[in-house]
Amino acid sequence: MNKNQKIAQCFSPAAFIHDSEENYQAIEKLIQEQEIGGLTFFHSRHSAAANFEKRAETLDVSGTFEKLITLINRYQKLSKIPLLISIDGEYGLAMRIEKTPQYPFAITLGALKKDAEQWVEEVGYRMGMDMKRSGIHLNLAPCADVNTNPNNPVIGYRSFGDDAEKVAKLSFAAYSGMKKAGIGACLKHFPGHGDTAVDSHLGLPILHKSKEELEAEELLPFQHGIDRGVEMIMVGHLAVPALTGGKDIPASISRELITDLLKGEMGFQGLVISDALNMKAVANLFPEPGELEWQAFQAGNDILCFSDHVSEGIEKITQKTSDEEADLVFQKIMDLKKRFGVLDNKPIEVPAFDWDQHSRFQKDLAKNYVSVIWGELNPSEIQALAKAGKLGYKEFFTQTASHFSQNLNLDFETADKAEKVILSVFVPSHKPLNQFGMDQSVLGEIKALAKSKPCILVHFGNPLALKHLGDLEDFETVICAYQGFEEVQEVVKTLKLF
């Protein structure tokens, strides 16, 4: 193989499941003419990761999973060396593909009360098996970010929490589960994106902390994984001046940070993956096509994700890098492909999922994380009020009656006349924008109710949204359910609220 072909193995541009035939053929051209090493699949150009400017346009999303399988087979058939197929599926295939198994968010798994590492490893394993059966070799997950900024616009629910030790253990457990399933995984976003206030899809976050502070928090989960043999780490687009000689340079293109710190000082010997190179934190830094790709490569990245300038990037890197460096990175990628069976590629069929088993697993998980986080429950008192017609029930932010409130066979009193009210809040969004999608006037109604009489709050959603519901002390009891899955609603029902 020539040098060009070896460097091309570093490239994993975005492939969109819902796209035009013209764009499908453009991917085929990259495979046949540039001989790229892999593809990273996204749902559509409407995905947040695509930085697409026309997301308001309607999109037909029927048959997403079947289209994915068809495209993987179509693209693999054209590639001389089988493609490394990756996806960013932090909570399973469902993060990108409708009608596939979804698992709890990392923040939910961080709330597991017993045997958390074993449960999280099992989640990773099941996610990995779903992906492996679907022709995917690499999941660009889990997040090893310590979410110490509750207003973080881009991490939040994607992190296992705000405690570095817990994040270290659980991110490695998720990684281990996926590895057990026979697919690749990576810890991200090195050197740690949890204490940032800017979304790197839109701008460059800058983390102003000393190296000592970073070692005690942000870097700790990555060092934990490195010490235990993690094979892949993704570097994020954030500036950490304390690690780059005071410069506000994105970590993803910093040789000081990747080669000197990560590979040198921290002892990482695996593959380094860049975060998506289309993200505005880096995409606008180098107007000349191919220069960003070169900067990322020379910094120490082995796999370049979501490059918008593949041919120019291959050409520039080939011109500027040494033969020895090209040989080294090519061998690392080929070894990776061998380890995960990429080179034994065979056409795949659309797999069937065992939905009953998945539902049972979701329920077992929920029993371990649904928690009373404030006050106490008195089921006998609640049931006595219900029988006497003195219990009220009201739910918020649902379009239709929730699974939770169905088949109760109870006549609830109106909230204003009841002696006690159960308030179910189904948080509309897991992201913090606009109070997690909760209308300000409705939030005011919830707060007023909590102050006027005893209320039991059942919170289905991101726990970080609780701060918008007022003081927890205003409620008699607060139950945090973390997710709105039907299985979770069933588990909350077993608390004998009715």
User: Is 201 a known active-site residue?
Assistant: yes
Rg for the chain (alpha carbons), in Å?
Answer: 24
Closest by CA to 291, choosing from 324, 319, 328, 262, is 319
Catalytic residue from among 18, 193, 201, 459: 201
**DSSP state at residue 83:** -
Contacts 24+ apart (CB under 8 A), 114-118: 114/368, 115/368, 116/166, 116/169, 116/170, 116/173, 117/169, 117/170, 117/173, 118/173
User: Measured between alpha carbons, how far is 492 from 366 in angstroms, rounded to an integer?
Assistant: 9
User: Which pair of tokens denotes residue 149?
Assistant: 């900024």
User: Does residue 137 contact residue 341 with C-beta atoms inside 8 Å?
Assistant: yes
User: Which pair of tokens denotes residue 143?
Assistant: 């997040």
User: Measured between alpha carbons, how far is 318 from 184 in angstroms, rounded to an integer?
Assistant: 27
Q: Where would I find the beta strands (DSSP E) of 400-444?
A: 420-426
| CA 456 remoteness from chain centre | 31
User: Is 364 a known active-site residue?
Assistant: no
Catalytic residue from among 130, 275, 302, 474: 275
Closest by CA to 124, choosing from 183, 43, 194, is 183
Number of alpha carbons in the 13 Å side-chain half-sphere of residue 453 = 16
In the three-class reduction of DSSP (H, G, I as helix; E, B as strand; rest coil), residue 139 is classed as strand
- Decide the pairing of beta strands 138-139 and 187-190: unpaired
Name the amino acid, one letter, at 372.
V
What residues are labeled active site? 201, 275
